[in-house]
Amino acid sequence: MRFTTWSRNKDQTPDRVISERTPSRARHFELGRRGEEMAIERLEREGYRIVAANFSIFNPPQANVDLHKRRQIARAARGYRRMLGLMSAPYRYDVVAVLLPADADDRSHVELFKNFWTDEKLRPRNWHENHWD
């Protein structure tokens, strides 16, 4: 399991702190790390400040942010905003999709989906209903 955090020093240079439980990584983990770095560079160019990251998936990336994942992220974001007293601060949910071909000669692609969903689109679930949506 890997968790990466970013913080900035006075010079606005990111300090990356990585803690890993396994000393060696398989090739697909290295590919994921490269994708994360590309996403971070794109977001920083767009003016984002990266606080934490580590999200690895297989398939078109944005397809994996399904309703269940959106609810989990929204719940975590509410807790984060509540903990830091930011409940009235503006926010939105953006998704960064990184496509890295296995062959290094192929072009990689980083796409930013701004405002990918809103809390209003997440209808409350009635637990007595079937939930395979």
Q: Check residue 103 and give its pLDDT.
A: 72
Q: Check residue 1 and give its pLDDT.
A: 35
Rg (CA), the chain: 17
pLDDT in tens, the chain (133 residues): 344 545 544 455 555 544 444 456 788 788 888 888 999 999 999 999 887 666 444 777 788 888 999 999 999 999 999 999 999 999 999 999 988 776 777 788 899 999 999 988 887 666 555 555 4
Rounded distance, CA 42 to CA 124, Å? 33
- Please state the pTM of the whole predicted model: 0.53
Rounded distance, CA 92 to CA 110, Å? 19
Nearest Cα to 35, choosing from 100, 94, 96? 100
